[in-house]
Structure 1
Amino acid sequence: MTTAQDIMTRQTITVLADDSVSRVGEVLMSSGHHSLPVVDSEGRLIGMIGERDLIDAHRKVHLPTIVTILDGLIPIGGMREYDAELRKVTAVTARQLASSRVVTAVPGEDTDAVAEKLLRRDVHAVPVVDDHGLLLGIVSRSDILRHLLKP
């Protein structure tokens, strides 16, 4: 059985939680990757930042539709989306911009299970972490393809 640690990229390009959003953009663009892990000073995974997060950070915020009834303001849907947009456009650091609900893998996890996570969650890469959240590497779609297509 081939596992995540067998195919993961160990020399992972990361950004620090306190890096500026502009620094994150520079690293992402120069790396050629679609997403990057965000780590703290000890190398523990904090979250992931992808191209979409950076695009969202530079978009205009769309205000939710509000209805006034008896001098009360009632939002009509979209409040959750508004909160998420507002969080991203006001982010100053990688920690603030990063998605903290990250799909991860453990070193001994079967590559088929990791591939399933990549496809089901529509992500480009899955960080591989130990029991303490320390980033050990990353498995990308390219890593899975290399494994599947090798002779």
Structure 2
Amino acid sequence: MTALVRDYMTPNPFTISADAPISEAVRLMEEKQVRGLPVVDDKGKLVGLVSEADLIVREAPLEPPLYITFLGSIIYFESPESFHQHLKKTLGQQVQDVMTPNPHTINVDAPISEAARLMVNHHISRLPVLNDQGELVGIISRHDLLRALHAQEASA
């Protein structure tokens, strides 16, 4: 029998609003011992995901992208866009300033293997889980996938 996301997800995850202060996200994540929070609008619709990595980047040194000038042109060795994203996260005051907008999601009835594929291919640690109406009903993490793998190994 194929294991489904619904069997291993955390239902009704803690959420935070996009306009909440970053300090609230830090407090909630620490208090609830979670590593990421779905970000919802005032109607409860998923608009982003804030993770430890999004918050930790604020503490990393801000380094402008390396470049050279050649014949009057600027040639960047790194994407200026990533510098702008880091700058925005460093200076941001609200969750919407640091969150990852439009995160990858998965349907509640998807197989666990699909969640694993998305996490591996996109280098992410958690996926908000949506029902057929697009409502947030849970969250599944890499730890949940390990529980599923352990259960499959134990039953084999």
TM-score, scaled relative to structure 2: 0.82
Runs of 4 or more, structure 1, over 6 Å off, are none
Match of 1:74 in 2: 74
**1:41-86 superposed Cα distances (whole Å, 9 cap, x missing partner):** 222111111111111123332223455678x673633312211111
Which runs of no fewer than 5 residues in structure 1 stay unpaired? none
CA distance in 2, matches of 1:40, 1:51: 20
CA drift at 1:120: 2.6
CA drift at 1:101: 4.2
Equivalent positions of 1:2-151 (< 5 A) are 2-65=3-66, 74=74, 76-78=76-78, 79-150=80-151, 151=154
Identity, in percent, stands at 27
Q: How many residues align?
A: 150
CA distance in 2, matches of 1:9, 1:32: 13
**1:73-122 superposed Cα distances (whole Å, 9 cap, x missing partner):** 73633312211111111211111210114121012211111122223323
Matched position secondary structure for 1:137 = strand
8 Å CA contact 2:22, 2:93 repeated in 1: yes
CA distance in 2, matches of 1:22, 1:75: 38
Q: Please provide the CA RMSD for this pair.
A: 2.2
